[in-house]
Chain A
Amino acid sequence: EDQVTQSPEALRLQEGESSSLNCSYTVSGLRGLFWYRQDPGKGPEFLFTLYSAGEEKEKERLKATLTKKESFLHITAPKPEDSATYLCAVQGDSGGSNYKLTFGKGTLLTVNP
């Protein structure tokens, strides 16, 4: 069974204080690792897909990296508008599935001005 563990559960940063969120996973045949952002009262918003170890993706102040056991979401010089819950999900190939995402419980990021 695929598993995803995110840490920390919550993180408070000052504006401009860079940090990283962790996503540890176990999966049978990784097809993709996904990062989503979720604002209160909203649905998850897609950020990145990573497919293989060593891959990196960037978007504004966010950079996602992937190893064979974990992914990091690096946040450089965050702003208050980066405050949200960040969700990590994996898609494996168990049972021939090409659709099932297993989500972590997320990291609640708060950036204070």
Chain B
Amino acid sequence: DAGVIQSPRHEVTEMGQEVTLRCKPISGHNSLFWYRQTMMRGLELLIYFNNNVPIDDSGMPEDRFSAKMPNASFSTLKIQPSEPRDSAVYFCASRGTGGQPQHFGDGTRLSIL
């Protein structure tokens, strides 16, 4: 079975540019999570969707960050405008029902110059 698929795997762009990260969750999973991982802070939850609806976006750092889930098989995380401090690895994870664990994609390594 295909796991969580993220694209791009690497993104290097200049400060001020718009960045869009993409995620395809595991088929049949109804929960989707976006995380950010840095050396200093570890893995932090940014936003949680359940059945395509944003439930908890308290981890989104500021208004420059936005996330959408237009259907059960696709989600985006957008940063506009990007700043150097946004440089990190961004992970998407999905989870089925019944207390199943979260399954992670391989992440997008984002570098903002």
Which chain A residues have a beta carbon within 8 Å of chain B's beta carbons?
31-32, 34, 36, 41-46, 49, 87, 89, 97, 99-101, 103-106
Q: Which of B48, B55, B95, B106 contacts A43 (CB 8 A)?
A: B106
A46-B103 CB under 8 A given contacts A87-B43, A99-B31, A103-B43: yes
Q: Which of A32, A34, A97, A106 contacts B42 (CB 8 A)?
A: A106
Q: Are B102 and A101 in contact (CB under 8 A)?
A: yes
Q: What is the minimal beta-carbon distance from A78 to any residue of chain B, in angstroms?
A: 23
Which chain B residues have a beta carbon within 8 Å of chain A's beta carbons?
4, 31, 33, 42-43, 45, 48, 50, 55-56, 91, 93, 95, 99, 101-107
Q: Report the Cα distance A36→B91, complex, angstroms.
A: 14
Q: Are A42 and B106 in contact (CB under 8 A)?
A: yes
Q: Are B107 and A43 in contact (CB under 8 A)?
A: yes
Apart from A104-B42, A105-B42, list 4 A-B contacts with CB within 8 A: A43-B106, A99-B31, A100-B48, A101-B45
Q: How many A-B residue pairs have CB under 8 A?
A: 44
Q: Report the Cα distance A44→B56, complex, angstroms.
A: 22
Top 9 closest pairs, chain A to chain B, by CB: A43-B104, A103-B43, A105-B42, A46-B101, A44-B104, A43-B106, A43-B105, A42-B106, A43-B107
Q: Report the Cα distance A36→B103, complex, angstroms.
A: 10
Q: What is the minimal beta-carbon distance from B36 to any residue of chain A, in angstroms?
A: 11
Q: Report the Cα distance A43→B109, complex, angstroms.
A: 11
Residues of B within 8 A of A36 (CB): 104
Q: Report the Cα distance A97→B48, complex, angstroms.
A: 11
Residues of B within 8 A of A32 (CB): 99
Q: Report the Cα distance A103→B43, complex, angstroms.
A: 6
Residues of B within 8 A of A99 (CB): 31, 33, 48, 50, 55-56, 95
